[in-house]
Amino acid sequence: MTTTEAVARTAGTAKETLRTHSLRQALQVQSFQILLVLLVVFLAFAALAPEVFPTWGNVRQIIQNVSILGVLGIGMTFVIVTSGIDLSIGSNLVFSGVVAAKAMQAMGDSGWGTAIVGIVVAVGCGLGWGLLNGVLIAKAKVPPLIVTLGTLGGALGLAQVITGGVDIREVPAVLQDTIGYGNVPGTTLPTISLIAMVLILIFGTVLHRTRFGLYTFAVGSNEESARRVGVKVDRQLISIYALSGGLAGVAGILSLSQYGTTAIAGQSATNLNVIAAVVIGGTSLFGGVGTIFGTVVGLFIPAVLQNGFVIVGIQPFWQQVAVGAVLVLAVYVDQRRRAAAARGHSGKGDGTKKLFGRRTT
Amino acid sequence: MKLTPQTALLAASLLTAASLTACAGGTAPAGSTGAQPKLTFIQGVAGDEFYVSMQCGINAAAKTAGATINTQGPAKFDPTLQKPIVDSVVASRPDAILIAPTDVAAMQAPLKAAAAAGIKVVLVDTTVQDPAFAASSIASDNKGGGLEAFKAIKNLNPAGGKVLVISTDPGVSTADARVAGFEEGAKADASFEYLGVQYSHNDPAEAAKLVSAALAKDPDIVGVFAANTFAAEGTATGIRQAGKQNQVKIVGFDAGPAQVKQLKEGVVQALIAQEPASIGTQGVEQALKAIKGESTTKEIQTGFKQITAENLSGVGAQYVYKSSC
């Protein structure tokens, strides 16, 4: 809920500029700080349950359970860097999974041929919803919050129309055995996590090392300036929402593989969980600032908290309280940094320098 | 010291760590001392009276047997939320897990893996596609419960008419069985017309909308069977919105405080109550037997009780679900 309010607030104040010079330094600092928080949480649980918590078997299952959210987090980071929001990812995931399951059901057999068709269909469906989001946002100028709230309902509703609300549980065995619960041959690393890591590396490079990534930051920092220096803003936005949708499609097939069911009633809070992780990871809701690395760390904080709370035997409700606190804190840090930047202290100024100085010296 | 974001972050993380330690000290009384069996109960959804009553039964039975019990549950009845909890519980290596699986397919692999890791698994209330790995499955005889619900509607409407079912989500084994039992009864009786089942997705608001829509289409519905707690809450709201309290009789499944209040107010005319505490107690018994290596009963079915306004102050009272132990 906090997230939605924060988003609404963003709309009016998203216009301020940030000097690119301080950008890199500042975000390095926040993802570093959030990594420290993750380490502290990890060490606290490791101290409380030394023989259970810090084992590879336990860490492995945390990584496995974060993988699907990781894939969604990539797209969400791109979207939030443009100061947008994508609420539709959870429904998009369910819709893509449902259509892919229907297609695979129609094919009949449970070999790789069917699985590949399913993968293509899922990614295609995800892309479709993403393109729709992008076109409505960039061309029709409807605010992202409203567009994706609309497609959130639309995708879920259509998924229920297609299935009559009845989950499809016929998923090809190859998908479940290799992707869902399989390991990378010769290791104990889950395949699903390797897929997520590869995607994170690819799109991390795209965001931080390519012109496409630079334009993404430019659009998020100041849409008007980006337009005036010749960035095709509309096309950029459409591509980014399509990317987010396509990745939701990938997540859809991963979810099918892992759960063996379309879980239509599930994923209702996935969008907010991913947005929270992106924000905790230091990506600013005001746009123009963010890292994929921060998002990954941001995803691990709730996952590690939940795992630790279960192992230590604390009521599950406390996890939400803890994640909420970390979320508000992360936005507070972002606000401080923006206030410092607005006072002209960015780059060589006191506030940011103090933060950055601590790390380099 | 000036409050910079960094110091704030550090202070907060220290605080978190400190409060964590404090919490843990208070609530987890060192389970690994001695040869006490360590049990974990994973609810279908945290905070639901049905699972709380089951938890009460489990706690009492565990206390008598000298076992420790750790209760966990997802915030929603959702396999994507329950799976990480199951994985974490398995990592903590209890001797046995009592669990109400939230999906027959999604929970199959994680629970099978738990059993393969040497943890005894007892399925309570709901089940999975192939429960062969489980030491025991304990649930209400839900089909019988559905049939009983139809009989209750028949008692309230001896003349017959149109009847409707509001269920939760398709694929939840218990709810499906209740609907099947009701359908069987309704179709076997020529004076009743069965209008089918609508799914409310565990959301009272959704159930209310479905009932309003159904009443708009068939204004002469005489009875609605609401297959679980949330569905009953919403059904009552929907009927009240349509102003048809006197015409439509509702039979609810489950007897949480909200349903009992509705029964007292005359919004709901009868409740079919399960015996969650009994499920929990027997679950602990079977789990302990499995830990000791004794033979277990693979499948146990518990009964159900009808609660009406007449017996609520008498025998019915003990079947009402608890919101705390």
Q: What is the mean pLDDT of residues A57-83?
A: 95
Residues of chain B with Cβ-Cβ distance to A182 below 8 Å are none
pLDDT above 70: residue A183: yes
In chain B, residues under CATH classification 3.40.50.2300 are 38-139+276-302, 142-273
- Tally of CB atoms within 10 A around A246: 23
Q: Nearest residue on chain B to A339, judged by CA atoms?
A: B5
Q: Show the CA angle centred on residue B173, arms to residues B167 and B179, nearest 5°.
A: 40
- Facing residue for A358 by CB, picked from B6, B46, B93: B6
Alpha helices (H) along chain A:
2-13, 20-48, 56-81, 89-107, 112-138, 144-163, 173-174, 191-209, 211-221, 223-228, 233-259, 270-280, 292-312, 317-342, 350-360
pLDDT above 80: residue A354: no
Tell me which of B305 and A204 has the higher pLDDT: A204
Residues of chain B with Cβ-Cβ distance to A29 below 8 Å are 6
Q: Which pLDDT belongs to residue A330?
A: 79
Q: What is the mean pLDDT of residues A37-61?
A: 92
The H-or-E segment that residue B163 falls in is strand B161-167
Q: Which pLDDT belongs to residue B10?
A: 53
- DSSP assignments along B16-80, one per residue: HHHHHHHHHHHH---TTSTT--EEEEE-SSTT-HHHHHHHHHHHHHHHHHT-EEEEE--SSS-HH
**CA A168/CA B3 separation, integer angstroms:** 53
Q: What is the mean pLDDT of residues A237-255?
A: 97
Cross-chain residue pair A259–B106, CB shorter than 8 Å: yes
Q: Which pLDDT belongs to residue B65?
A: 93
Residues of chain B with Cβ-Cβ distance to A176 below 8 Å are 109
CB A269 within 8 A of CB A90: yes
Query: What percent of chain A clears pLDDT 70, i.e. is strictly above it?
Result: 86
Work out whether strand B136-140 and strand B161-167 pair parallel, antiparallel, or are unpaired: unpaired
Q: Which pLDDT belongs to residue A4?
A: 39
DSSP 3-state assignment of A86?
Answer: coil
Domain B38-139+276-302 has CATH 3.40.50.2300: yes
pLDDT above 60: residue A173: yes
Q: Does A106 touch chain B (CB under 8 A)?
A: no
Tell me which of A61 and A108 has the higher pLDDT: A61
Identify the weakest region by mean pLDDT among A86-95, A309-318, B292-301.
A309-318
Q: What is the mean pLDDT of residues A57-86?
A: 95
Residues of chain A with Cβ-Cβ distance to B13 below 8 Å are 36-37, 40-41
Instruction: List, in order, residues 6 or more apart from A190 with CB less than 8 Å away.
Output: A60, A63, A64, A67, A181, A182, A183, A184
- Name residue A255's amino acid: S
Separation in Å, CA B317 to CA B49, B59, B313, B321: 15, 21, 6, 9
Q: Which pLDDT belongs to residue A15?
A: 39
- Tally of CB atoms within 10 A around A47: 14
Q: Which pLDDT belongs to residue B14?
A: 52
Work out whether strand B270-274 and strand B304-308 pair parallel, antiparallel, or are unpaired: antiparallel
Instruction: List, in order, residues 6 or more apart from A143 with CB less than 8 Å away.
Output: A11, A137
pLDDT above 60: residue A227: yes
Token look-up 């229920």 returns: A160
Cross-chain residue pair B105–A261, CB shorter than 8 Å: yes
- DSSP assignments along A262-297, one per residue: --TT--TTHHHHHHHHHHHTT--TTSS---HHHHHH
Q: Show the CA angle centred on residue A294, arms to residues A292 and A296, nearest 5°.
A: 70
Q: Which pLDDT belongs to residue A279?
A: 92
**CA A337/CA A360 separation, integer angstroms:** 18
Q: Which pLDDT belongs to residue B233?
A: 81
What are A7-34's pLDDT values in tens digits? 333 333 333 444 454 555 555 566 777 8
Tell me which of A308 and A31 has the higher pLDDT: A308
- Facing residue for B70 by CB, picked from A259, A313, A329: A313
Q: Which pLDDT belongs to residue A274?
A: 95
**CA A127/CA A245 separation, integer angstroms:** 5
Q: Does ipTM exceed 0.85?
A: no
Distance from CA of B139 to the nearest CA of A (A): 22
With a cut of 50, list the residues of chain B below it in pLDDT.
1-3, 20-33
DSSP annotation of A180 reads I
CB A69 within 8 A of CB A276: no
- Tally A–B CB contacts below 8 A: 171
Identify the weakest region by mean pLDDT among A55-69, A329-343, B187-201, B245-259.
A329-343
Q: Which pLDDT belongs to residue A344?
A: 66
Mutation target to probe the A interface, by most A beta carbons within 10 A, among B40, B69, B76, B80 is B80
List the one residue out of A185, A205, A4, A139 whose CA is nearest residue A85.
A4
Token look-up 């609420």 returns: A87
Q: Which pLDDT belongs to residue B276?
A: 92
pLDDT above 60: residue A317: yes
Residues of chain B with Cβ-Cβ distance to A65 below 8 Å are 83-84, 87
Q: Which residues are registered as beta bridge partners of B320?
A: none
Residues of chain A with Cβ-Cβ distance to B81 below 8 Å are 266
Return the CATH architecture of domain B142-273: 3-Layer(aba) Sandwich (3.40)
Cα dihedral sign, A50-A51-A55-A61: negative
Distance from CA of B21 to the nearest CA of A (A): 7
